[in-house]
Structure 1
Amino acid sequence: MAPSKLKEWFPWTTAPVIINGPMIGAASPALASEVSKAGGIGFVSSIVNLEPGSPELTKANDNLAEVRHLLNQPPSGGAVVHAGMSCITGHASVLHFTDTDGADVVVCQGIDAGGHQFRRGMGVVSFVPEVRRMLQEEFPEREVALVAAGGIVNGKGVAAALALGADGVVMGTRFTVADESIYPDFRKAQVLAAKDGGKSTFKYGKRQSPFNDQMNNSALWGPLYDGRALVSEIHDKFLGGATLEECQAALAQVAPAEEAAKLINTWA
Structure 2
Amino acid sequence: MSPSKLMNRFPWAKSPLISNGPMLGAASAQLATEVTKAGGFGFLLLTADLSPDSAHIKTLSSDLEEARTLLGAEQPADGPLRVGTSFVTGHRSIGHFAETALPILAKHRPAAVWLFAPDGDVKPHRSIIATLKGLDVPPVVFVQVGNVAAAREAVLDGADVLVTQGVDADGHQFRQGAGIVSFVPEALPMGEALLVPWLWALRES
2:121 is aligned with 1:86? no
Q: 1:45: how far off?
A: 1.2
Give the Cα separation in 2 of the matches to 1:27 and 1:83.
14
Correspondence 1:1-268 to 2 at 5 A: 2-72=2-72, 78-79=79-80, 80=109, 81=111, 83=113, 85-87=115-117, 88-93=144-149, 94-98=152-156, 100=157, 102-114=158-170, 116-118=172-174, 120-137=176-193, 139=194, 143-151=195-203, 173=204
Note the C-alpha offset of 1:96. Answer: 4.5
Are 1:108 and 1:124, in contact at CA under 8 Å, matched by a contact in 2?
no
Whole-Å separation in 2 of the counterparts to 1:115 and 1:122: 9
Rounded to whole Å, the distance in 1 between the matches of 2:55 and 2:77 is: 21
> Residues 90 and 109 of structure 1 are in contact (CA less than 8 Å); yes or no, is this contact kept in structure 2?
yes
RMSD of equivalent CA atoms: 2.7
- Against the structure 1 CA distance between its residues 8 and 95, is the aligned structure 2 distance closer, same or farther, given a 3 Å change threshold? same
Instruction: Quote the residue 1:220 is aligned against.
Output: none
Work out the CA distance in 2 between the residues paired with 1:26 and 1:83: 18
* Compared CA separation, residues 96 and 37, structure 1 to 2 (3 A): closer
SS in structure 2 at match of 1:24: coil
Deviates more, 1:17-26 or 1:67-76: 67-76
Letter in 2 for 1:148: W
Q: 1:82 to 1:17 in 2, by over 3 A?
A: closer
- Give the Cα separation in 2 of the matches to 1:17 and 1:10: 9
Whether contact under 8 Å (1:124, 1:149) holds in the other structure is: no
> Would the aligned equivalents of 1:111 and 1:150 in 2 still touch at CA under 8 Å?
no
Work out the CA distance in 1 between the residues paired with 2:2 and 2:31: 26
3-state DSSP of counterpart to 1:107:
strand
Secondary structure of 1:49 counterpart: coil
Assess, with a 3 A threshold, how the Cα gap between structure 1 residues 115 and 96 changes in structure 2: closer, same or farther: closer
AA at the equivalent of 2:8: E
Q: Distance in 2 between matches of 1:108 and 1:77?
A: 32
Going from structure 1 to structure 2, the CA distance change for 1:110 and 1:83 (only over 3 Å counts) comes to same
Deviation, structure 1 residue 145: 1.2
- TM-score when normalising by structure 2: 0.61
Number of equivalences: 147
Cα pair 2:2 2:197 within 8 Å, conserved = yes
Structure 1: 4+ residue segments shifted above 4 A: 73-77
Counterparts of 2:114 and 2:28, CA distance in 1: 21
In structure 2, what is the equivalent of residue 207 of structure 1? Answer: none
Contact in 1 for aligned 2:146/2:171 (Cα 8 Å): no
Larger C-alpha radius of gyration, 1 or 2? 1
- 1:106 positional shift: 0.4
Contact 1:111 1:117 (C-alpha < 8 Å) held by counterparts: yes
